[in-house]
Amino acid sequence: MTRVKDYMTKKVQAVSQEDPIARVRNIFLSKGVSRALVYNGELIGMITDGDIARAFTEERREINQVRVREIMTRGLITTEPGQTPEEAAEKMMEEEISGLPVVKNSEVRGIITNTDLARYFTKRYRGKVKIKDLMSSPVHTIKEGQSAFHAGRIMEEKEISKIVVEKDEEAVGIVTEKDLSFASPGKKPRKIKYPGSKNHHERVKVYPMIIGDIMQEELVTTHPEKDAATETEKMIKNNIGSLVVTKNKKPVGIITKTDIANYLGQKADSEK
């Protein structure tokens, strides 16, 4: 039987709770990761690119002034090398998290994430479930000219990490929490005096960055009737976290690695 140890990532990034999130952001960029364990002499929590993205919509300070301890997740849930991927996925589903440190005898042996579970899913569940059975629908969309700050607010309010960019009712791109955190969209929109206005009291909103500046234009799509495990290989191959589900180029849903992990977690629950 397949175990967590067979699919976990053994190399884990670690940061201090006193590190500025600007440093963590740079580690994520250079190492191509989206989470790191937080230490203060001992393991005390985790920080993700989602935490950093949310900080951009909530904080008015520069990112080199915000410390890891202010936005990290404390009180880690862990798994063991001998548990099944489905059991690990169940914990992640129940706690609404995307990664678990793998611990044995109080020692961190690695980490298992939604990406690792997606790799397992492509091998174990081929031909067993279709995209339409796992996708989230309806899909949340945004326009290219809207602000990055607005995208962050939608993600926060809807508790999602990705928004499809739409133009003329067709999917043309996608923007994620990682895009927001790595692009430094800046602070909240501010009102400034309009230079050419005769009325000195007239003001307009100025947004630091718009969706068109940061969205991923090379959109990877799928169809509701396709095999989910086969299509998940597209995520692994392209190093992305989701596929936009389309019909006649119109977005009808989205399937993410979280959807796949939740499916695996439900399988563990049904087998008890």
For 87-127, what is each residue's pLDDT tens digit?
Answer: 999 999 999 999 999 999 989 999 999 999 999 999 999 99
pLDDT of residue 242 exceeding 50, the answer is: yes
pLDDT of residue 223 exceeding 60, the answer is: yes
Task: Verify that 27 and 65 share a domain, yes or no.
Answer: yes
Q: Which of 124, 141, 168 is the last residue of a domain?
A: 124
H/E stretch holding 183: helix 177-183
DSSP state of 130: B
Q: What single letter denotes the amino acid at residue 213?
A: D
Q: How many domains does the chain have?
A: 2
pLDDT of residue 59: 62
| 3 or 62, higher pLDDT | 3
Task: Verify that 63 and 135 share a domain, yes or no.
Answer: no
pLDDT of residue 21 exceeding 60, the answer is: yes
pLDDT of residue 103: 94
CA 43/CA 28 separation, integer angstroms: 19
Q: Which of 124, 156, 178 is the last residue of a domain?
A: 124
3-state secondary structure of 243: strand
pLDDT of residue 150: 86
Task: Verify that 65 and 17 share a domain, yes or no.
Answer: yes
CATH number at residue 69: 3.10.580.10
CA 253/CA 243 separation, integer angstroms: 9
Task: Verify that 135 and 120 share a domain, yes or no.
Answer: no
| 267 or 209, higher pLDDT | 267
pLDDT of residue 183 exceeding 70, the answer is: no
Task: Verify that 83 and 31 share a domain, yes or no.
Answer: yes
Task: Verify that 154 and 225 share a domain, yes or no.
Answer: yes
pLDDT of residue 149: 82
pLDDT of residue 251 exceeding 60, the answer is: yes
User: Mean pLDDT over all residues of the chain?
Assistant: 87
Task: Verify that 154 and 261 share a domain, yes or no.
Answer: yes
Angle 25-241-49 from CA coordinates, rounded to 5°: 20
Q: Do the Cβ atoms of 135 and 232 come closer than 8 Å? A: no
Task: Verify that 109 and 148 share a domain, yes or no.
Answer: no
pLDDT of residue 198 exceeding 80, the answer is: no
Task: Verify that 83 and 113 share a domain, yes or no.
Answer: yes
Q: Which of 92, 124, 156 is the last residue of a domain?
A: 124
> What is the average pLDDT across 167-183?
84
Record the pTM. 0.81
pLDDT of residue 196 exceeding 60, the answer is: no
> What is the average pLDDT across 122-135?
97
> What is the average pLDDT across 177-196?
55
Task: Verify that 94 and 207 share a domain, yes or no.
Answer: no
Task: Verify that 66 and 192 share a domain, yes or no.
Answer: no
**Band of residue 203 on the pLDDT scale cut at 50, 70, 90:** very low
Expressed as residue numbers, the domain containing 107 is 4-124
Ranges of H-type helices in 3-140: 21-31, 49-58, 68-71, 85-95, 114-124, 131-134
Task: Verify that 170 and 190 share a domain, yes or no.
Answer: yes
For 110: left if phi > 0, alpha if psi spans -120 to 50, otherwise beta; the answer is left
